[in-house]
Structure 1
Amino acid sequence: MYRVLRKNISVFLFVILSVGILNLSSITPAFADGQLETYVDSLQQAKEGVTLWQTIRMGGVIMIVLAGMSIAATAIIIHNFMTLKIEKLTPVVFSENIVKQLGTGKIEAVKSLCQRKSNIISSIVLAGIKKKPHGPMLVREAMENCARKEVNHLWQKISYLADIASVAPLVGLLGTVLGMIQAFNVIAFQSAVVKPMLLAGGISKAMITTAGGLIVAIPAMLLHAYFKGKILEISNAVETYSTDLIKLMEKN
């Protein structure tokens, strides 16, 4: 399931970034007075202040890219909240039952039980049982490799969240640069006296995209740290149980 989600998120982000790059041509300065006014059209229409929607619109294409990254981050966060549960991945009762039955040599009963459950512990045990006819060394190697693979898979599940937390401020910074370019173009190409409202349009865009990038990045970074703690907790449980399971599998 996660591979499908990861693929969909990759495609989604690629499309969003592609659209953003293709539309960067829209920042080419319009030198006519009427065209320059469109930079701050929403500002001039707002007599009593600027609404949230008008603020977002002033951010231009960059805000669309940041919105796409925000949606992707939200999908990853929801998925991880649903799946990164220690009671689901390393259930205590199930794990202790497996240890108990392996201690009495009930390999077939353990195999049957693990095949009915889908979690990290069952995957490790089944990997060891599969290699049991080939000797204890291969059993240990198979179980250790399986445990390592399962934990690495958990780290991969939050890697995109870290990427979004890193990239979003840079995208916002790009918007800041583009906004300042617009502001300086107003100064450079206005034949008459520069209107403060026109300058405000480019500067507002610069500030809005910076804020947008941080709004996306900060929650993503905080939740990445939270999920990192969850994975470390799960990893410790896997290490504890796998050590006992490997010893029992080697004896029986």
Structure 2
Amino acid sequence: MDNFAEFYQQGGGWMHFIALAAVIGAGVTIERFIFLFFRFNINGGQFFNQIQKLVMANNIDRAIKLCNAADKAALARVIKAGLTRANKGEADIAAAIEEATLEVGPAISKRVAMISAVANIATLLGLLGTIFGMIAAFEAVATVSADQRATALAKGISIAINTTGFGLLVAIPLLAMHIFISNLAKKIADEVDLYSVKLENLLAARVRQG
């Protein structure tokens, strides 16, 4: 901890901006992980198989109750929208499913891109700190007296190296988490697209059969 405090202090004022980016990035990452993994996520294949069996048994009410049991999950919300129109025409079923899909889509992808954006900002702030650190180092060589030159030069180089290191230290974990969270969001969105179409076809066939 003492070594990090010294590392942080030697990086100068730019370290505060990078630290702010780290806090924002961590906050968004944790919020998205909780929201997507614990709320919106569901085993799509298993869930739809249960729904399919209930629909084929003409037990729509029980299928809706199954959706209500997982009402936070994106797929369950879309499936429920279609099931509530199960006794309507094909056009009504398709419209309900499409509307629900359009509603959950932005919620799935919300703030996911922000994680990589903050990671890139942290990297750029580190590079900007490097530039100003090198400027300070060159100025020290040119303007500072000989007895203080080594100290001033070391200070400028410390700012340059430490800000770059801290920027990368923040950016790399955020980019790794962005890959994980964006893949999770894509998996949820793909399941919504796949099983909403399957449900639409299933309910349409049920309507045609009377």
Do both share a fold (TM > 0.5)? yes
Q: Which residue identity is paired with 2:3?
A: T
Q: TM-score, normalising length from structure 1?
A: 0.69
Partner in structure 2 of residue 200 of structure 1 = 154
Change (3 A) 1:169 1:88: closer
Corresponding residue SS for 1:99: helix
Deviations 1:65-124 (A, max 9, x none): 212222232233333443433996233443322121122333333233323322122210
1:120 to 74, 82, 99: 74
Shift of 1:183: 2.0
User: CA–CA distance in 2 between the matches of 1:157 and 1:93?
Assistant: 28
Q: Say yes or no: does 1:69 pair with 2:21.
A: yes
Q: Which residue identity is paired with 1:190?
A: V
Could you tell me whether the CA contact under 8 Å between 1:162 and 1:224 is conserved in 2?
Answer: yes
Q: Which residue identity is paired with 2:67?
A: C
Q: Which residue identity is paired with 2:91?
A: M
Corresponding residue SS for 1:144: helix
The higher-RCO structure (CA 8 Å, 6+ apart) is 2
Partner in structure 2 of residue 159 of structure 1 = 113
**Larger deviation: 236-245 or 52-61?**
236-245
Q: Which residue identity is paired with 1:67?
A: A
Shift of 1:207: 1.1
User: CA–CA distance in 1 between the matches of 2:23 and 2:39?
Assistant: 28
Q: Say yes or no: does 1:101 pair with 2:54.
A: yes
User: CA–CA distance in 1 between the matches of 2:175 and 2:151?
Assistant: 36
Structure 2 regions of 5+ residues with no counterpart? none
User: CA–CA distance in 1 between the matches of 2:39 and 2:135?
Assistant: 53
* Residues 1-252 of structure 1: pairs in structure 2 closer than 5 A: 51-85=3-37, 89-91=41-43, 92-118=45-71, 119-130=73-84, 135-190=89-144, 195-250=149-204, 251-252=206-207
User: CA–CA distance in 2 between the matches of 1:246 and 1:89?
Assistant: 21
Change (3 A) 1:96 1:212: same
User: CA–CA distance in 2 between the matches of 1:214 and 1:160?
Assistant: 17
Structure 1 regions of 5+ residues with no counterpart? 1-49
User: CA–CA distance in 2 between the matches of 1:166 and 1:131?
Assistant: 45
Could you tell me whether the CA contact under 8 Å between 1:86 and 1:234 is conserved in 2?
Answer: no
User: CA–CA distance in 1 between the matches of 2:161 and 2:143?
Assistant: 22
User: CA–CA distance in 2 between the matches of 1:147 and 1:170?
Assistant: 37
Shift of 1:63: 1.1
Change (3 A) 1:150 1:88: closer
